[in-house]
Chain A
Amino acid sequence: GAVVSQHPSRVICKSGTSVKIECRSLDFQATTMFWYRQFPKQSLMLMATSNEGSKATYEQGVEKDKFLINHASLTLSTLTVTSAHPEDSSFYICSASWGVGNTEAFFGQGTRLTVV
């Protein structure tokens, strides 16, 4: 299958600072990337959908000014958690596909964010 690389895998930051997470498709062009958040022992909650060259589409309840998404190229999308707070601590995971909806989505390895 295709490879999606997410970086960093773990990050600890202080309250009030910003953290950038990168999601790269290594061997295919990802027209669409999805960002999910996963709390312990819970499901993957879709935060936003990003398409290369256009603004991200955020799910209801997700603050777009807090979770900045940039899909600058067909192989890279970034999620920046701005002014992080302890409640932002979570597992963030991206997925990428070259189609939409009914094609397989490949997941990055996830980023465990801890805000202290």
Chain B
Amino acid sequence: GENVEQHPSTLSVQEGDSAVIKCTYSDSASNYFPWYKQELGKRPQLIIDIRSNVGEKKDQRIAVTLNKTAKHFSLHITETQPEDSAVYFCAAPNRDDKIIFGKGTRLHILP
């Protein structure tokens, strides 16, 4: 089945700098890659997603890149702000179309 690996597990970034979180997936048939942000005690919220027919998508300070050949996709956050501190999850569907999540990255924005 689909295996989604996410790195790093923890990331500390100085406010204003960029943060990059990377994920790899195993099922070459996967064609949809969402990223979720989860603040403490709250539900995950979709922040950006990408489909397999494009290599990059950007929404203000957030971007996602996809390399289908290498089966990896990355989340890029530029000009980080304190409110970016949260846990971020990547995800990908398996062959049964169930969304499988990575283990998460705890992002700390340092003042």
Contact = CB atoms under 8 A, between A and B. Distances in A.
Interface of A: 1, 34, 41-44, 46, 49, 57, 93, 95, 100-110
Contacts of A34: 98-99
14 contacts: A41-B106, A42-B104, A44-B89, A44-B101, A57-B96, A93-B44, A100-B97, A101-B93, A102-B31, A102-B93, A105-B34, A106-B46, A107-B45, A110-B43
The secondary structure that dominates the A interface is loop
B46 A104 contact: yes
B84 interface: no
A78 to B, nearest CB: 18
B98 A1 contact: no
Contact of B51 (A95, A102, A107): A102
A104 B34 contact: yes
B102 A43 contact: yes
A34 B44 CA distance: 13
B20 interface: no
Nearest to B36: A107
B68 interface: no
